[in-house]
Amino acid sequence: MIRRLAPPLVALLLAAGCGIQPTGVVPAGSGPYLNKQSAGRVSLYFLRGGKLAPVLRFTGSSREVGPQNVLAALFAGPTAQERAEGYSSLLPTGQIFSAVDTTSTPVTVRVPTALPDDVPARLGQVVCTTIAALVAGGRSVGSAGVDVVAIGTTYHNRTCRSA
């Protein structure tokens, strides 16, 4: 008797499923991100194929991962090896000083160059690299993002997605 009931019962259970009805895409906030990179490593954002792309740089110690040092490396541009791999930068290279105020909420970055709206990748390089440096240093940025003060413009609450 049990053998006779087993196949129809199994079919009924499979047809019923677990009772959860399918739904469309449900917005659930921003995507996942690492909350801390390995000590002594940080991502700098350059361009590759016309799009922002991270380059993992190894630093000598976790102290060198601070946003001030990482932005100095960003403004120095890609290394010869990175250029050979197709990475480039839209930021001016050389001795560009940037100031980072990590005591403010959101964190404020001041750069002595223009970051015009018509070239969003420039702003993206600064925002994404700053956030990567903060995360590598153990600081969560969250939805507040960072503020970027450039010559002639201030951008508020920028995240790597909104840059």
More confident residue, 2 or 36: 2
Q: What is the mean pLDDT of residues 86-113?
A: 88
Residue 153: band (very low, low, confident or very high) from pLDDT cuts 50, 70, 90:
very high
Sign of CA dihedral 9, 15, 18, 19: negative
More confident residue, 128 or 24: 128
- What integer pLDDT is reported at residue 5 of this predicted model? 52
Q: What is the mean pLDDT of residues 113-128?
A: 91
- What integer pLDDT is reported at residue 71 of this predicted model? 92
Structure tokens at 110: 């001041």
| pLDDT tens digits along 15-28 | 444 444 443 443 33
Residue 139: band (very low, low, confident or very high) from pLDDT cuts 50, 70, 90:
confident
Q: What is the mean pLDDT of residues 100-114?
A: 91
More confident residue, 65 or 63: 65
Percent of the chain with pLDDT over 90: 45
**Bond preceding residue 106 cis, omega within 30 of 0:** yes
Q: Is the pLDDT of residue 43 over 90?
A: yes
Structure tokens at 142: 């969250």
Where are the chain's structural domains? Answer: 38-158
Q: Is the pLDDT of residue 113 over 90?
A: no
> Which segment, 12-16, 28-32, 126-130, 140-144, is predicted with the most confidence on average?
126-130
Return d(Cα 83, Cα 79) in angstroms, integer: 6
